[in-house]
Amino acid sequence: MSLHRANNLLIILIVLINCYVIATPFFPRLLFFVHSHQGQAVQLKKEVHQAPVATAPPQPNHVVIPNMLLNQPIYDGTDAYGELAKGIWRWPGGSSPDKGGNTVFLGHRFTYTTPKGVFYFLDKATVGSEIGVFWNNKLYNYTVTNTKVVPPTDVSILAPTTEPTLTLYTCTPLWNPESRLVITAHLETK
Amino acid sequence: MKKYNGNPEAIKFWILLAILLLSIAFAWYLNSSLSQSLSNQFQ
């Protein structure tokens, strides 16, 4: 291969890599725009009010948040990096929806590898937003009561609670994840 | 001053290769810094 041809190939590779790095963080917004125009939020709102049928085959544990067009499985385990790489991770030090207390779910805001940040749109889960947690084939409905930004050193968000609470958190801001965006929700029906 | 008489295509090749490696390193750094920062709440 001549040097001239090799240089052209290098230029193409540089352009492709840099386009990927620059454009990929905007893909979730594009997908959100497309999916919201396809009525996916309405469909998810119906889903958070449909309790699983007892006779139906058991569903995997998952979370549905219509405001952020989220419908994702929940992963359990002790390997933080490994579980977070799969999607939403239930912190094993916390509770679970069937036991009450503070159930803590966390997920990436954005990564270049899959999945591309399950909590990318966590900021769209504002006060009053509905959250449906399908846990052991039972539906738990939560309503967001508080949103806040805390430093990564603030572990008070993981503390046990007397009320059945759901805490969701991720990195913020998107580009410089120096803080944590925390969403607190309380159980509506059991 | 000594005049450089090297092959300009060769110089271009090494500069482009360096830019390519830097681009890959930057993309790698971005991904790892974004994916590892979340877990430090428990450390």
What is d(CA A74, CA A122) in angstroms, rounded to the nearest whole number? 15
Q: What is the pLDDT of residues A164-173, one digit of tens each?
A: 999 999 988 8
Per-residue confidence (pLDDT) for residue A166, from 0 to 100:
97
pLDDT-derived band at B42, boundaries 50, 70, 90 = low
Residue of A111, A158, A180 with shortest CB distance to B34: A111
Report whether pLDDT(B39) > 80.
Answer: no
- Please judge whether B12 and A171 are an interchain contact, meaning their C-beta atoms are less than 8 angstroms apart: no
CB-CB under 8 Å, B30 with A17? no
- Residue predicted with more confidence, B22 or A80: B22
The better pLDDT of the pair B32, A3 is held by A3
By Cβ distance, the residue of A14, A111, A152 closest to B16 is: A14
Query: ipTM strictly over 0.90?
Result: no
Query: Which residues are paired to A65 by β-bridges?
Result: A70
Q: Is the pLDDT of residue B1 over 60?
A: no
Residue spans of alpha helices (H) in chain A: 3-23, 27-37, 40-47, 80-86
Average pLDDT of chain A to the nearest whole number: 90
Structure tokens at A59: 């569903």
Q: How far apart are CA A22 and CA B23, in angstroms?
A: 11
Is the C-alpha dihedral spanning A157, A158, A163, A164 positive or negative? positive
Determine contact: B18 vs chain A, CB below 8 A.
no
Which residues does residue A133 pair with via DSSP β-bridges, in sequence order? A63, A140
- Residue ranges of domains in chain A: 2-187
When pLDDT is averaged across residues A53-81 and rounded to a whole number, the result is 89
Lowest mean pLDDT among A23-27, A150-154, A180-184, B16-20: A23-27
Q: 């990318």: which residue's tokens? A: A120
pLDDT (mean) for A113-120 = 79
pLDDT at A81 over 90: no
B contact test, residue of A2, A8, A21 with most B CBs within 10 A = A21
In this model, does residue B34 exceed pLDDT 80? no
Q: Which of A14, A84, A170 sits opposite B20 (nearest CB)?
A: A14
CB contact under 8 A, A112 and B19: no
What SS3 class is residue A7? helix
Flag if A84 and B24 touch (Cβ within 8 Å). Answer: no
Judge whether A127 is closer than 8 Å to chain B, CB to CB.
no
Cα separation of A93 and A90, whole Å? 9
- In whole angstroms, what is the distance from residue B11 CA to residue B27 CA? 25
Check the CA dihedral A116-A121-A122-A125 and report its sign: negative
Q: Does CATH place domain A2-187 in 2.60.40.10? A: no
